[in-house]
A and B are shown apart, each in its own frame.
Chain A
Amino acid sequence: MESRILQLIAALRASGVRVSLAESAESFSAVDIMGIQDREQFKLSLRATLIKDVKDIPTFEKLFPLFFGTGTPPMMGGNPSDDMTPEEAQMWAEAMRQFAENLRQRMERLMNGEPLTKSELEALGQMVGLNQADNLNYQNWMAQRMMRALAFPEVREALKALMEQLAQMGMSRERIEQIRQTIQQNLQGMQEQINQFAGQRLAENLSERPRNENIDSLMNRPFQALSDADKKILQREVKKLAAALRTRIALRQKRMKSGQLDPKTTIRANLKYQGVPMEIHHKDRIKKPKIVVICDISTSMRFCSELMLSFLFALQGQVRKTHAFAFIDHLESISEDFNSSNADEAITSVLVRMPSGHYNTDLGWSLQNFNDSYMDTLNSGTTLIIVGDGRNNYYDPRLDIFSLMTRRASRTIWLNPEPEHLWHGDSDMPKYAPLCNNVLKVGNLRELVNAVDELMTK
Chain B
Amino acid sequence: MTNLFESTASVKSELNRQKYIASDEIATIVYLSEKLGKPLLTEGPAGVGKTELAKAIAKATGRELIRLQCYEGLDESKALYEWEYSKQLLYTQLLRDKLNDTLGKADSLAGAADQLAKEEDVFFSERFLLKRPLLKAILSDQPTVLLIDEIDRADAEFEAFLLEVLSDFQISVPELGTLTAKHKPFVILTSNNTRELSEALKRRCLYLFIDYPTLQEELAVVRLKVPDLNPKLAQQAVEFVQRLRKADMRKSPSISETLDWANALVALNASNLDKTTLEDTISVLLKHEADLQKAKRQYINPPAPPQPKSKNNYDELGRFSGN
Contacts and interface: CB of A to CB of B under 8 A. Distances in A.
A30 interface: yes
A18 interface: yes
B173 to A, nearest CB: 20
A18 B199 contact: yes
B208 A48 contact: yes
A45 B203 contact: no
Interface string A27-39: 0011001100000
Interface in B171-207: 193-196, 198-199, 202-207
Nearest to B156: A250
Contacts of B208: 48
Interface residues of B, number: 29
Contacts of A22: 203-204
Given A33-B36, A45-B28, A54-B43, A250 B203 contact: no
Nearest to A31: B32
B157 A251 contact: yes
A33 B35 contact: yes
A437 interface: no
B10 to A, nearest CB: 14
B36 A52 contact: no
Interface string A240-279: 0001001100110010000000000000000000000000
B199 A316 contact: no
B41 interface: yes
A33 B32 contact: yes
Contacts, number: 72
A171 interface: no
Contacts of A45: 28, 32
B233 interface: no
Nearest to B201: A52
Contacts of B157: 250-251, 254
Nearest to A339: B194
A154 interface: no
Contacts of A246: 156
B196 A243 contact: yes
A251 B160 CA distance: 11
Interface in B35-71: 35-36, 38, 41, 43
B25 A30 contact: no
A49 B206 contact: yes
Contacts of B28: 34, 40-41, 44-45, 48
Which among A23, A52, A251 has the highest number of chain B CB atoms within 10 Å? A52
B184 to A, nearest CB: 16
B29 interface: yes
A313 to B, nearest CB: 9
Interface string A316-357: 111000000000000000000000000000000000000000
A29 B203 contact: no
B155 interface: yes
Contact of B199 (A26, A40, A243, A254): A243
A254 B196 CA distance: 19
Nearest to B208: A48
B24 interface: yes
Contacts of A34: 28, 32
B256 interface: no
Interface string A164-191: 0000000000000000000000000000
A317 B35 contact: no
Given A40-B24, A250-B157, A317-B156, A52 B32 contact: no
Nearest to B197: A52
Contacts of A53: 196, 202, 207
A140 interface: no
A52 B202 contact: yes
Contacts of B35: 33
Contacts of A49: 32, 206-207
A48 B194 CA distance: 20
Which among A22, A239, A247, A317 has the highest number of chain B CB atoms within 10 Å? A317
Nearest to B158: A250
Which among B32, B41, B157, B194 has the highest number of chain A CB atoms within 10 Å? B32
Given A30-B32, A30-B36, A23 B196 contact: no
A18 B196 CA distance: 13
Interface in A277-317: 314, 316-317
A20 B203 contact: yes
B151 to A, nearest CB: 12
B8 interface: yes
A40 B29 CA distance: 11
Contacts of B203: 20, 22-23, 52
Nearest to B205: A52
A314 B209 contact: no
B155 A317 contact: yes
Contact of B29 (A18, A44, A239, A314): A44
A53 B203 CA distance: 11
Nearest to B25: A44
Given A30-B36, A33-B36, A41-B28, A48 B207 contact: yes
A54 B209 CA distance: 7
A239 B193 CA distance: 15
A52 B38 contact: no
A23 B201 CA distance: 12
B214 to A, nearest CB: 16
A103 interface: no
Interface of B: 8, 24-25, 28-29, 32-33, 35-36, 38, 41, 43, 155-157, 193-196, 198-199, 202-209
Given A34-B28, A40-B28, A48-B207, 9 more contacts: A30-B36, A40-B24, A49-B32, A52-B205, A53-B202, A247-B156, A247-B198, A250-B156, A318-B156
Q: 9 shortest A-B CB distances, which residue pairs?
A: A52-B202, A48-B206, A44-B28, A52-B207, A48-B29, A33-B35, A250-B156, A41-B28, A20-B203
Interface of A: 18, 20, 22-23, 26, 29-30, 33-34, 40-41, 44-45, 47-49, 51-54, 57, 239, 243, 246-247, 250-251, 254, 314, 316-318
26 contacts: A18-B199, A20-B199, A22-B204, A26-B36, A30-B206, A33-B35, A33-B36, A40-B24, A40-B28, A44-B32, A45-B32, A47-B207, A48-B28, A48-B29, A52-B203, A52-B205, A52-B207, A53-B196, A243-B199, A250-B155, A314-B196, A316-B194, A317-B155, A317-B156, A317-B195, A318-B156
